[in-house]
Structure 1
Amino acid sequence: HDDFAIMIALYIDNQPILGWIMDVVNNIVYHGGPQMGVFANQLRLDPPENDELNQGIVLLSGARLLYGMFGYDEIAKSALGYRVIGAAGPSFIRVLRGQAVGYSSKMMSWDFAAGQVLAKTLGLIVSDIDGKQLDMLSSNIVLVATNRAHRDILALHRS
């Protein structure tokens, strides 16, 4: 029962302003935005290392991995390791903290809006699985990753 979070985001004219992800079990609120940085409660987070896919853990959607969709099988094989958590909030937190180099899953805007604000503020890349900007009004196959892991994942997805 640890893998859930409360997420809220503020966007103005489709621009990310503030995001909050609350890790309820551990009583940690990840919050911030482009004008202030990202914090875990009062502790300012540094940007994660810009590791490549083969240097870290990647978090993937279990169903899409199982059926080899979007190149997830090759992405998992190319990573140092992979995990299936099944919840957006805890997965975004792991990427924000540098515990994973990337995360991809099918999400609705309420699943990725807060994480996108925080991830972009820390210099992570957030896109759809094809590398395009996310549509905030529809479901997307979302990819959040370090710059290097993002590049590696897009190359595997396209091959």
Structure 2
Amino acid sequence: MDRFTERDQLIRKWIYAAAATIKESFDDELDIERKSNRNDLVTNMDKAIEKQFIEKIQHFFPGERILGEEGLGDEISLLDGVVWIIDPIDGTLNFVKQQDDFAIMIAIYEDGKGQLGYIYDVMQDKLYSARTGKGAYCNKRLLPTIEDRPLKEGLVAISSALMSKEEGLARTVGRASSGVRLIGSAGIETAHVASGRLIGYLAATLAPWDIAAGKIIAEEVGLIYTKLNGDKVDLLQKTPVLVASPTAHKEIIELLKSQKI
């Protein structure tokens, strides 16, 4: 058993255990705090799950660094060595308001290169996973290489922040596609592009923990994952993101250029 196989087995157990803890909390009253604004929330459950993951990583893999959304891990300025990137609940607003459409995300990078990525759609019981060079899966089903369709033949997801800040951009891309969908979880939206349900996903600002797992999964099925302007994503910065099939990605970049974005 190589070291990544061992990690894969542990991570899957940890994710399912965390999901069970989250579901058990549904009847409890949450402690909810605002972060940057009224739509950017954190709950006691986000913090508890992140703490759970960190304790397990530190026990099994002491000395490896951890970047977590809730700040309970390490201060990281370089991706040297092995770095775990964790989002305990992606789509916290959905978790609070709907108890649906939220995900658990874990990724491992080594010297800046993605190695393992996991997005667990908790309420749909769908675990999207990938190991670089070994393909991507939904549960135990291998995801095929994405069909390279043009933008007009697929649905796109556009984040609510991008739609509100750049209404003209959203309309331009939306009109060029078959239609626009919005879920409110970067992980689930990226997973839907990777599984072929969507042709692309655009977001105004994603943090490293929103990006890390999905980027590994997306690239394993042949998707292009970049900044909105086509530049390479910096995993230590918040950044606008575009993930799409190669043809749709090229078309969307051209549309964005026409909008001077």
Q: Give SS of 2:215's match.
A: helix
Q: What does 1:62-141 align with in structure 2 at a 5 Å threshold?
A: 62-68=160-166, 71-105=169-203, 106-141=205-240
Q: Give SS of 2:183's match.
A: coil
| Aligned residue pairs, count | 159
The normalised TM-score by structure 1 is 0.95
Which residue of structure 2 aligns with residue 2 of structure 1? Answer: 100
Which residue of structure 1 aligns with residue 114 of structure 2? Answer: 16
Deviation at 1:13, TM superposition (A): 0.9
Deviates more, 1:22-31 or 1:126-135: 22-31
Distance, in Å, in 2 between the alignment partners of 1:117 and 1:63 is: 24
2:249 to 140, 144, 150: 150
1:25-62 CA-partner distances (Å, limit 9, x unpaired): 12221111222111111111102211111110000012
Percent pairwise identity: 35
Which residue of structure 1 aligns with residue 125 of structure 2? Answer: 27
Q: Quick check: which has more Rg, 1 or 2? A: 2
* Bigger RCO (CA 8 Å, 6+ sep): 1
Q: Give SS of 1:120's match.
A: helix
Deviates more, 1:24-33 or 1:68-77: 68-77
Deviates more, 1:131-140 or 1:28-37: 28-37
Gaps of 5+ in 1: none
CA contact (8 A) 2:206 2:238 kept: yes
Distance, in Å, in 1 between the alignment partners of 2:133 and 2:105 is: 19
Match status 1:58 vs 2:146: no
Distance, in Å, in 2 between the alignment partners of 1:67 and 1:36 is: 38
Larger proportion of helix: 2
Q: Give SS of 1:154's match.
A: helix
Distance, in Å, in 2 between the alignment partners of 1:64 and 1:35 is: 32
Larger proportion of strand: 1
- 2:231 counterpart letter in structure 1: K
- 1:37 counterpart letter in structure 2: G
- 2:154 counterpart letter in structure 1: G
Q: Give SS of 1:144's match.
A: strand
1:110-135 CA-partner distances (Å, limit 9, x unpaired): 00100000001111000000000001
